[in-house]
A and B are shown apart, each in its own frame.
Chain A
Amino acid sequence: AQKITQTQPGMFVQEKEAVTLDCTYDTSDPSYGLFWYKQPSSGEMIFLIYQGSYDQQNATEGRYSLNFQKARKSANLVISASQLGDSAMYFCAMRDTRTGANNLFFGTGTRLTVIP
């Protein structure tokens, strides 16, 4: 069965510091995709970054990078130089490969608070 685990309900980080949000996953499928989404207090879901299981390099998008460790089945999100606007809920997700559709399994989320 596929599963996404986020063990940090809440995290605090000082402004301008880097922070790592943990995500582990479980799947028996060799082909999968991993995502991170940001949900600010306004409620919308914002796509941040994607990593395919066969991608050789860790994905990066601006201040976001995905630390992909396949053997450990982890896909941690690293946010560099945190800003106050980074305060939000962050969800790790994996594409559901059971159906061949574009369905996503989500973790329970980590609430990040950036301290000025």
Chain B
Amino acid sequence: EAQVTQNPRYLITVTGKKLTVTCSQNMNHEYMSWYRQDPGLGLRQIYYSMNVEVTDKGDVPEGYKVSRKEKRNFPLILESPSPNQTSLYFCASSFDRHSYEQYFGPGTRLTVT
């Protein structure tokens, strides 16, 4: 089944404790991205990647890192999480940067206390 998977789905952590949210797709997609969703703000893009080893900042990249060492995986790293990073996070992928259809992962709900 074609899908985008994220792990963990739920996470409660404390300020400053490094964490990684994994994202993996099995569709051989070139393009992947991360969004965060906050009430009243919709979804905002954090980082995106147009291919392996090619990543770039979205609209709200502060406090996040990403890597794209292989095509299927695009982990989101929070080196020192803070409470303002409490949010619902989505990973998305598409065949390439021209494809209009994007596949979203199920979301990761992160709480930083």
Contact = CB atoms under 8 A, between A and B. Distances in A.
A106 B31 contact: no
Contacts of A101: 31, 48, 50, 56, 97
Interface string A25-44: 00000000101010000011
A12 interface: no
Interface residues of A, number: 24
Contact of A44 (B42, B48, B104): B104
Interface string A52-71: 10000000000000000000
A100 B48 CA distance: 12
Interface centre among A35, A50, A93, A104 (most CB of B within 10 A): A104
Contact of B106 (A43, A102, A106): A43
Contacts, number: 61
Nearest to A4: B42
A96 B31 CA distance: 14
Contacts of B56: 99, 101
A98 B23 CA distance: 25
Nearest to B103: A47
Interface of A: 4, 33, 35, 37, 43-45, 47, 50, 52, 91, 93, 95-96, 99-104, 106-109
Interface of B: 31, 33, 35, 40-45, 48, 50, 56, 58, 88, 90, 92, 94, 96-102, 104, 106-107, 109
25 contacts: A43-B88, A43-B109, A44-B104, A44-B106, A45-B90, A47-B104, A50-B100, A52-B100, A93-B43, A95-B100, A99-B56, A101-B50, A101-B56, A102-B31, A102-B94, A102-B97, A102-B99, A102-B102, A103-B58, A104-B35, A104-B45, A106-B42, A106-B44, A108-B40, A108-B42
